[in-house]
Amino acid sequence: MNDDPTPGADGPADPLIPRSALRSAALTTVLALVGATVALWLIGPVRVAVGPVTTGVSVTPALGGPVTLDLAPLGQVEIAPTYAPIRLRAEVADLDPAAVSDVVTKGRAPELDLGSTLPRTLIGAIVTYVGVAALGAGLVAGIGRRSWRHGVAGACIPFLALSACAWIGLFTLNVDELADTRTTGVLGLVPDGAANAAQFFDDRDRFADNVAANTEATTDLYAGLFGMADPDHPDVVRILHISDLHLNSAALAFAGRLATTFDVDVVANTGDDADWGSDVESEILGGPVGLDVPYLWVRGNHDTAVTQTANAGEGAVVLDGTETTVDDLVFFGVGDPTFSPKLDKAVVKEGQTAFKQRWSTETMLPLLAAQPQRPDVVMTHDPAMTDAIEPKPPLRLAGHTHKLKVSGGTNPDGTPWVLVVNGSTGGAGLRVLDRKEENPMSAVIITVDRQTKQALYLDEFTYRPLVDQTFKVRRIDLRNLDPAD
């Protein structure tokens, strides 16, 4: 009688893969995923060229989705969705100024051959992502397990996974059917996609004329019903405050019509004429609205020295740590010390608002104190730049936020002060043409008593040229404002 147990007869068979091997593989996989994630986070968006722009392509986990090209400020192009578990997005990192000039001034469409350019662009970005992820995974897995074999195995995990996602995405990406392409912004106005964008820009001047005509009809009615005369204050100065044109040439027509209808005495522009601060933008839009009144200007955080020079060359009075007198009112202004499209690392670390407030205390206040006269009106682009001024001047003008905000109060000596943060006269630029945007074209006329320098009331004019074509006017009394308003 044989007492030896028959293998498998009385006990469980040995597993095909030992548990120790499973635990080892799981540890290697976890290390590989950590390494790949860190590597992809460190590399950030991959810069690739798409037509006239250089984009940063990013890949995020998702259950499929469209390939989105964010071509600011022209709008977005969304290509038919892929069925890979990833989502691709490309945002503008840089642009070709000559190409932008052709689009805006010459009516030439952006050269976007999506059928050939997009797959090639995405392949280049994905190859970079796969390589970086595999390298990061291999290093972390190899170092963590102290084995080059585990390093190789770790590198293979994201390589195979991302490669599979990439091939699924590229094979299911439908770039040939324009019916699956959705555009927004300026490009959204063109039914056949970016290839026909020139049609809109050919009508750019007509669009500006339509804005001016609609503005004229409403403002004439408002002036006829209410007028601008105030019997209690017969001697006043009317300031047309505009801001944040952001390359929208129709904003000048809008402002010009307001200035003519209400016979303003001075135009005060608190900056951000441009989006990128390029030479081309300064040629497209820069300088006064063509009226025989003083045009005061301060630099915004999207303007450059080139933008400033262009305004000065067109006859604007540029205030940059300086002051000027118009109709017995002393205006002081200073340009924004930051340039948002290319911020210094120190500014990013500190934060733009904190940096500007510190800069204002250290630099602007000494400039203000050195002026021969105490200003009645202070102009800056960012309202935070005037927080440190004490006592506060009768009127401060700013923009930057793209939303009207009015506040007021009284200094310790009993003199009143008013802060007017204007909306965007350009409707935040070409984005005013995106029906999803909430920024109307906005400008205000502020009436100031010439003798007392007190701001009396503000008339706000807003217009939505394409959203619903509504023109709104309202008056705000500036003599009884709460600082928290």
Domains of the chain from N-terminus onward: 19-198 (no CATH), 203-477 (3.60.21.10)
How much is the pLDDT for 91?
60
Q: What is the rounded distance in angstroms from the CA atom of residue 293 to the CA atom of residue 9?
A: 104
Find the mean pLDDT for residues 219-223. 53
Report which of residues 124 and 128 the model is more confident about: 128
Residues 6 or more apart whose CB falls under 8 angstroms from that of 473 comprise 218, 219, 222, 459, 460, 461, 462
Report which of residues 351 and 190 the model is more confident about: 351
pLDDT winner (highest mean) among 3-7, 31-35, 79-83, 228-232: 31-35
Find the mean pLDDT for residues 186-203. 37
Find the mean pLDDT for residues 291-307. 90
Sheet (strand 65-71) strand order: 46-50, 53-61, 86-95, 65-71, 75-82, 182-183
189 pLDDT band, cuts 50/70/90, is very low
How much is the pLDDT for 111?
47
Report which of residues 268 and 32 the model is more confident about: 268
Q: Half-sphere exposure (CA, 13 Å, Cβ side) for 152?
A: 3
Q: Which of 29-38, 169-178, 231-240, 333-342 has the lowest mean pLDDT?
A: 169-178
89 pLDDT band, cuts 50/70/90, is low
- Measure the CA angle with vertex 407, ends 402 and 411; round to 5°: 140
Which of 476, 473, 451, 448 lies closest to 462 in space, CA to CA?
473
Q: Which of 92-96, 182-186, 247-251 has the lowest mean pLDDT?
A: 182-186
Q: Does the pLDDT value for residue 65 go beyond 90?
A: no
Q: Which of 156-170, 183-197, 284-298, 445-459 has the lowest mean pLDDT?
A: 183-197
